[in-house]
A = this chain, B = another copy of it.
Amino acid sequence: MQLSPSLTALIEALRCLPGIGPKSAQRIAFHLLERDRDGGTQLGGCLTKAMQVIGHCESCRTFSESAQCDICQSVKRQDSRLLCIVESPTDVLAIEQTGQYQGLYFVLMGHLSPIDGIGPKEIGLDLLEQKLSQGNIDEVILATNPTVEGEATAHFIGELCHKYQVEASRIAHGMPVGGELDLVDGMTLMHAFSGRRSLGS
């Protein structure tokens, strides 16, 4: 027995979702057809539209439907003269959700990875260099991931900041708040020790 062509195509297409195998794809397709056709139609339209209209902010490279994102357009953010460098738009979201940072961002959309052919240009460092040369930024906060590639990328951008005499800082690594010492990996523990601060003053 063959499933109808549109159903077969839908099950196949659902496989593009991360973590969805053939069995789950089938289950989702039948669920939508049996119980939530309105939801399925809605999702179809939203997907088509999002993939079409969402591009990248020409200033910080994060996802945006307009030429510049809301954050880049904010005068208050521009006046902060702070630029936080992250690997992905989800990092921007995570930082914004803390409500503590009020500066600008620059989103690399990845990290340096020479063996994958991802060099400075691929992560927008030409655009970043242009930004640094304009003299509107006092401090660059390097918030790439604490991985080998993230550290290498932070180091490379640190050199770039040095060239334009812009101060660069790296976010602190250490024990997650509420974490237990014996459950944390060795690298984190090492960072927690080397980054220790005096309790005095």
Chain A residues within CB distance 8 Å of chain B: 1-7, 9-10, 12-14, 16-18, 26-34, 36-37, 39-54, 63-66, 69-71, 88-90, 92-93, 96, 109
Contact = CB atoms under 8 A, between A and B. Distances in A.
A159 B41 CA distance: 39
A19 to B, nearest CB: 9
Contact of A30 (B12, B71, B89): B89
Contacts of A14: 43, 46
Given A18-B27, A37-B51, 14 more contacts: A3-B63, A3-B93, A7-B50, A9-B50, A10-B46, A13-B42, A17-B28, A18-B31, A29-B50, A30-B90, A32-B50, A32-B51, A44-B45, A48-B48
A1 B71 contact: yes
Given A6-B53, A89-B30, A96 B1 contact: yes
Given A29-B50, A34-B109, A6 B44 contact: no
B90 A7 contact: no
B30 A16 contact: no
